[in-house]
Chain A
Amino acid sequence: MNKTEEILSTANKLRWEVGENIHDSILESIYKEASNIAGQVVTRTGEKPKFDLDRFIDRLVTGKWTGFPIMLILLAVVFWITIVGANIPSGWISFLLVDSIHPWLKQLLVSLQIPWWINGIVVDGAYLAVAWVVSVMLPPMAIFFPMFTLLEDFGYLPRVAFNMDNLYRRVGAHGKQALTMSMGFGCNAAGVIATRIIDSPREKIIAIITNNFSLCNGRWPTQILIATIFIGGAVPPYLAGVVSAAAVVAIAVLGVVFSLVVSWGLSKTVLKGEPSAFSLELPPYRPPRLLQTLYTSLIDRTIFVLWRAVVFAVPAGVVIWLVANIRIGNLSFAEHFIHWVDPAALFIGLNGVIFLAYIIAIPANEIVIPTILMLTALTTRIAASAGAGVMFELDSAADTAAMLEAGGWTVLTGINLMLFSLLHNPCSTTIYTIYKETKSIKWTMISTFLPIAMGLIICFLITQIWRVIA
């Protein structure tokens, strides 16, 4: 230890000798040398072109008046294509997996003399949940992710961050939070990891807590589906696509607003401090490579997210079948629970089915919608021939809507479900990542429960206002 103290004291002594500004003089000499060398080796031939396309695009997409409208329109177009395009393949897949293979599998197990309850758990539970996850989620993802990846490859996301940067600084957060927020639109866990680019611990924690307000891969399909069914269903058919796309954009924008409001609240209370400055480089636009983009967005994102959903869907399917078929008295366990929480749930404009679905689907956001559909089907007993907990031919969003309306769903339920899907706890992977990044149980808990509390309060308020108006 003596040696090290000696080193440190020598360093202190020498620091006085070389002068305090050694850091600056080194930096200065680095910059000088860099410009020196660059001056010698770089040649530019010809004048700068009069019309620089990159600069022109930048002036538009980061412009004071044009930046935000372009951002919203781009988002809306992406969702509109997704919503309009996903319906048809969804029908095909569900025809194949749910209408054709499912009865065949069931028959097969019956002919093999498998006991009815094993048949139920495996075919009506696990298999159907997987079939539903695939048919509900695969088409929107396969359309949405490549488009999103193209925008990312092209270089648009840093422009989004550039537009948002000023807003984040004004609420006392780090401008780079705009980047991690954009990253969260892909996956919150990735967004949380990306907060490593933020130097100050205070601003990093703000960025982590608020990352959940960026709709993630798992929740885009939920939003798109609910918007298609309820918001799209409430307007004339020729407007349905546009209006439901607008609804999804509204929710996404609302998420950004929440992240700003919460950042502001945190930086004014428990995480006080001045925002630190940074420079954000706008990368040049690069023509996206179509094949590579298709490959990465299909393999890395679509298949990855789908696989995760399937993995979680299997046990969830089993649980769904069990709660629907284990009876206490006359009613199934699920019905008991739903009736029990219904008063409280209806009070805030949701319903017992949604609560139960969120409990079953805690491991992954992706399977919330399939779970809700299966639970609704079993409690409303739309099912004609088979037993409880079995989903039936819902070839299109219209059929899904018919079923949900029979289950007592309204436009209000749809709106609240979209809000609640935006404002609830992060998925288990994200929670774990938050813990790993912050190493703090306190901040992990806050990141987990703050959104739920906000979700319940907001749904409650919306419901009260709705009931006053309607």
Chain B
Amino acid sequence: MTIDNQNCATCPAHNLANLVKLGIDMSNFDYVVALAGNPNTGKSTVFNSLTGLKQHTGNWPGKTVGRTEGGFQYAEKRFKIVDLPGTYSLLSTSDDEEVARDFILFGQPDVTVIVVDATRLERNLNLVLQVLEITDRAVLCVNLIDEAARHKIYVDDRALSKSLGIPVVPTAARQGIGIQELLRNIHDVATGKYICKPHRLSSEIKNVSNAVDELNKKISKAFPHLPNTRWIALRLLEGDQKVIDSVRSGEIGNLKPVENFDE
């Protein structure tokens, strides 16, 4: 593996050979990847093709309500991947949405992969935009392009990537199409080779943006270790009771990165 050469490193065939499915062996991982998305977009199928696990995939919303974890190795880096429950939004308060939201926010994954259904892109983008409010580093996986093609729907992934500010990879996970491309992008975002410039709506609504900035300053002063204080500020402005409570009790400052995060 070490003999040759830089040239091959960009070749897809080489990269695919680089994928080592680690299943549930997640020791000594270098990066943490979260897998988010609407129900029924094939998230679990993507998860399985990355990890080689055979987690049951049902054509069935609400199949995954907890977190499932697995691992893979790519380009000599070890990744731990966490399959989050499928949700339509991150703004309501049911348990499954909270699991997803808390993990993206407090688990501080190195990359969040958002899986969307190419045939229902508009509806799925609502969640994508919400996730991008929370995290800087994300990869969009436009799954089920085979089904979309059957319905004569085509998604311009380059334009989409430009408007969202994150890499976009079209896939058909059931057939294994696009998985190596997805891996490369996960790797690039994790290692910082690709710098995301995510689309932030809250910074576009003017008076909201100002208020968020003001509040944000205070929060980051009080809780210097907290990731993404902007989002906390936004939630406080919206009056999210759970976030208010956890700020009041100071509990929010105790949240630590991934290793200590548990349901």
Q: Does the CB pair A37–B163 fall under 8 Å?
A: yes
Q: Which applies to chain A's interface (DSSP): helix, strand, loop or mixed?
A: helix
Q: Does the CB pair A22–B126 fall under 8 Å?
A: no
In the complex, how many angstroms separate the beta carbon of A461 from the nearest chain B beta carbon?
Answer: 36
For this complex, 30 residue pairs linking A to B, each with C-beta atoms less than 8 Å apart, are: A3-B221, A4-B250, A8-B236, A8-B247, A10-B218, A14-B214, A15-B237, A17-B211, A19-B207, A30-B129, A30-B201, A33-B125, A34-B123, A34-B129, A41-B157, A41-B159, A41-B160, A44-B152, A152-B60, A153-B57, A155-B60, A193-B66, A197-B62, A197-B65, A199-B92, A281-B40, A283-B39, A283-B40, A285-B59, A300-B56
Given contacts A29-B204, A179-B62, A193-B65, contact A42 B122 (CB under 8 A): yes
Q: Does the CB pair B59–A7 fall under 8 Å?
A: no
CB-defined contacts of A183 to chain B, threshold 8 Å? 62
Q: Does the CB pair B202–A26 fall under 8 Å?
A: yes
Docked complex Cα distance between A155 and B94 (Å): 24
For B114-149 the 0/1 string (1 means CB < 8 A from A) is 000001011101101110000000000000000100
Size of the chain A interface, CB-CB below 8 angstroms:
63
Asked if A18 is at the interface of the complex by the 8 Å CB criterion, the answer is yes
7 nearest A-B residue pairs (beta carbon): A38-B122, A34-B125, A199-B94, A11-B236, A196-B95, A3-B222, A155-B59
Q: Does the CB pair A296–B56 fall under 8 Å?
A: yes
CB-defined contacts of B153 to chain A, threshold 8 Å? 42-44
Asked if B225 is at the interface of the complex by the 8 Å CB criterion, the answer is no
Q: Does the CB pair B163–A281 fall under 8 Å?
A: no
Please provide the chain B residues from 43 to 69 with a CB less than 8 Å away from any CB of chain A in the complex: 54, 56-62, 65-66
The residue that B207 contacts in the complex, of A17, A43, A286, with Cβ under 8 A, is A17
Asked if A158 is at the interface of the complex by the 8 Å CB criterion, the answer is yes
Docked complex Cα distance between A38 and B163 (Å): 10
In the complex, how many angstroms separate the beta carbon of B200 from the nearest chain A beta carbon?
Answer: 10
Given contacts A10-B214, A38-B122, A284-B147, contact A18 B62 (CB under 8 A): no
Other contacts beyond A30-B126, A157-B58, A197-B65: 11, CB < 8 A = A4-B222, A10-B214, A11-B233, A41-B163, A42-B121, A152-B58, A180-B62, A196-B95, A283-B40, A285-B59, A286-B59
Given contacts A41-B156, A196-B95, contact A283 B222 (CB under 8 A): no
In the complex, how many angstroms separate the beta carbon of A194 from the nearest chain B beta carbon?
Answer: 6
Given contacts A179-B61, A283-B59, contact A43 B222 (CB under 8 A): no
Docked complex Cα distance between A22 and B57 (Å): 38
In the complex, how many angstroms separate the beta carbon of B59 from the nearest chain A beta carbon?
Answer: 4
Interface residues of A (CB under 8 A from B): 1, 3-8, 10-11, 14-15, 17-19, 22-23, 25-27, 29-31, 33-35, 37-46, 152-155, 157-158, 176, 179-180, 183, 193-194, 196-199, 279-281, 283-286, 289, 295-296, 299-300
Asked if B104 is at the interface of the complex by the 8 Å CB criterion, the answer is no
Docked complex Cα distance between A296 and B93 (Å): 32
In the complex, how many angstroms separate the beta carbon of A378 from the nearest chain B beta carbon?
Answer: 40
Q: Does the CB pair B58–A153 fall under 8 Å?
A: yes
Q: Does the CB pair B215–A14 fall under 8 Å?
A: yes
Please provide the chain B residues from 192 to 221 with a CB less than 8 Å away from any CB of chain A in the complex: 199, 201-202, 204-205, 207-208, 211, 214-215, 218-219, 221
Most buried by B among A22, A25, A39, A46: A22
Q: Does the CB pair B215–A45 fall under 8 Å?
A: no
**Across the two chains, which residue of chain B brings its CB closest to A17?**
B211
